[in-house]
Structure formats: C-alpha cells, structure tokens
Amino acid sequence: MQICREGSVHGKGKGIPLLPENPPGPNIAIKKISFLFLMLLCLWPRIDTAVGLTAGILFSLIVANPFSGVTGKWSKILLQLSVVGLGFGIGIGRVIGEGKHSIVYTIIGIALTLIIGNMIGKALKVNTKTAQLISFGTAICGGSAIAAMAPVIKAKEEDIAVSLATVFTLNSVALVLFPYVGHLLHLPEEFFGLWAGLAIHDTSSVVGAAASYGPSALAVGTTVKLTRALWIMPVVLGFAFFKKSDQKTKFPLFIVGFVAAALIRSLLPNLHGAWDDIAFGARRLLVVTLFLIGSGLTREVLKKVGFRPMLQGIALWILVSVTTLAVIIKGIILNSAVER
C-alpha cells in the first residue's frame, strides 16, 4: 500500500481519497442563511442605521458576501424606494421651504468643493481624472455623481473603481462619525440635518445618519441632500458641453417620487396615520439597504483605494465638513426650520 502525494491511498491500483488539497470553507448555504437572517433582522426597530451598515461591512470582510453579484443592484433599488417612502413623512411645504433656503449655499458649496478638490488632487499628484471624480462625488452625490460624470471625462475603469472605493469608505465612516459629533456638540436636529445634507457624500449615508439623529434632522437632511442631487444633471451637462461630449445623463426620478409623496401627504391630511406608517416602513427599509451597502465593502474594494486618492478624499471631506459645520453654528447659513 502506498500513500500518494495528492492525499489518497493506492491499493490494487485504485486511489482512495483521504483529505482534499484545499479543504472547503464554510458551507455556502450556511453563509446565505446567515446573510439573509441578518438582513431581515435589520427590520427590527431596535437596529439603527449605523448597526445595519456595520453588520454588513463585518459580514463581508469576515465571512464574505454570498450574494455579491446582486446586492449592489438591490441596494440601489431599495434606497430609492426608501427615499420615496420617507417623503410620506414630510409635508410638501417643508420640502419647498428647505429646498428654497438651501439652493444658494448648495451651489456655492458645489463650486468651491470642485475647485478645492482638484487643487488638492494636483498638490498630491493624484491622477487628474481620479481627482475630478473624487471631487465631484464629494461635491454632489457620491457614487451616483461619479457614475454620471465618468463617461463625460472619459475616465478609465481604474479611475472609477478608485474614486468609488474612496467615497464609499468615507461614507461608511460618516454614518457613524457624524451622529457622534452631533451629540458631542449638542447640535439641534435641524442644524445636524443641514450639516449632514451638505457634508456627507451619498444619499444613503445622509439619510441614515439623519434618521438616527431624529425626525427633524431626517426631514432637513433628506431635503437638502436631494436638492444637491438635482445638480448632477446640470453639472454633468456643463462638463459635457465644454468637453464637447455627447454623453447623456438621466434625471434621478426617485427625487420626483419623494416630492410626489410629500405632496400626497399634504393633499390628504386625514390619512396622516397611514402616511406615518409608510414613512416608518421606509426607515426600516433604509436599515436593510445600509446592510446591503455595507456588504459591498469587500477586501477587493479596499485594495483598490490608493494612498494618494484616499488622502485627497479625506482632506477634502474634512475641509468641507469642518467649514460647513462652522458656518452653520455661527449662523452664516440657516435653513427654514431654524429661522422659524
């Protein structure tokens, strides 16, 4: 009898396997069941947005996301449904008021962020297109803005991957860090909502951070953020015009859905109980969404983030966050809720 190198016993010319060369990892079925259980657990009211996001990240990094091929698509769909559902919890008057009061400093903030972001990128010798995408994602709406701008500036796959990974990582930090700082400074809900709406990249993290802070913060933060998101189209079209690109961009229809939901609430006030229930469901759905988003932060994503792009993203984000917070506290910019 002879034990072969591949780990089998040879007897009478036949090989009998002993141990496989590469022992299998945890059963994929167990992974899937565990993932789905945690995702559904996020519907429990005691689980907040930060916990949902953190659970998704830890599961991805420690166990690995067994549904990595579809979670990105579903998180995008569920985020849009969540935002529309949140509109049922806010009257149209408040949406118009917040949007009207935030439009001026939104424009100023976007312009300054784009200029300063590209200056920081040049100083750090970051690839020009990567620096532009990071700046654009910070200025307007994170990953959505990056995806819209990338074809216009003819960015390579590597530029897109690095900028998305940078913004995504900072978004995850913001969701946990911003509420902590807000409570530490005893910021009123309206102040916090305005700060989150102006200084956090993605809609998901803005809504998540604001929802964990309070209902007024959620109303202000969501509206201000969606006002910023409206600028994806005009800014992309402006870049396309100057670069003579024929790239088309799509209007974010979920913003229309959010406004329509707020309008319905105001037109049918006798159904406020039903609208509040829908808004509550949307907040729970948001936690599920953030779990899915967190599960997208894989080791591969982290490997794509280079030192210089990340340094640019951090420097620009800190500058925007600190400056915005300072001018809000000093009363240089106010939202309609604070003025009332």
**pLDDT one-digit tens code per residue, 113-146:** 999 999 999 999 998 889 999 999 898 888 778 8
195 with 271, same domain: the answer is yes
Mean pLDDT of 79-105: 81
Chain-centroid distance, C-alpha 117: 19
Structure token digits, residue 336: 């309609």
Q: Are residues 3 and 93 in the same domain?
A: no
Q: Tens digits of per-residue pLDDT, 27-41?
A: 888 899 999 999 999
Q: How far apart are CA 179 and CA 213, in angstroms?
A: 6
Cα(167)–Cα(301) distance, integer angstroms? 11
**Phi and psi at residue 16, to the nearest 5°:** -115, 115
Residue 4 pLDDT exceeds 60: no
Structural domain that includes position 2: 1-37
pLDDT at 100: 74
DSSP 139: I
Same domain, 13 and 123: no
Residues 107 and 26 in one domain: no
Instruction: Give the HSE-up count for residue 16: Cα atoms under 13 Å, Cβ half-sphere.
Output: 7
Same domain, 5 and 71: no
Residue 311 has pLDDT above 80, yes or no: yes
Name the least confident of 38-47, 147-156, 166-175: 147-156
Domain identity same for 31 and 113: no
Claim to verify: residue 106 and residue 245 sit in the same structural domain: yes
Among positive and negative, which fits the CA dihedral 82, 138, 245, 103?
positive
- Residues 190 and 323 reside in one and the same domain: yes
Residue 147 and residue 57: Cα distance in Å, rounded? 22
For 214-252, where are the alpha helices, taking DSSP H only?
215-229, 232-242
Residues 6 or more apart from 154 whose CB is under 8 A from it? 129, 245
Number of structural domains found in the chain = 2
Please list, residue by residue across 118-136, b when 16 or more beta carbons sit within 10 angstroms of its beta carbon and e when fewer do. Answer: bebbeeeebbebbbbbbbb
153 and 174 assigned to the same domain:
yes
Residue 156 is inside which H or E element, if any? none
d(CA 28, CA 222) in angstroms, rounded, equals: 38
Q: Domain check: are 104 and 27 in the same one?
A: no
Are residues 90 and 194 located together in one domain of the fold? yes
Instruction: Evaluate if residue 304 carries a pLDDT over 90.
Output: no
pLDDT tens digits, one per residue of 195-252: 999 899 888 889 889 988 998 999 889 888 888 887 877 787 777 777 666 666 666 7
Same domain, residue pair 8 and 51: no
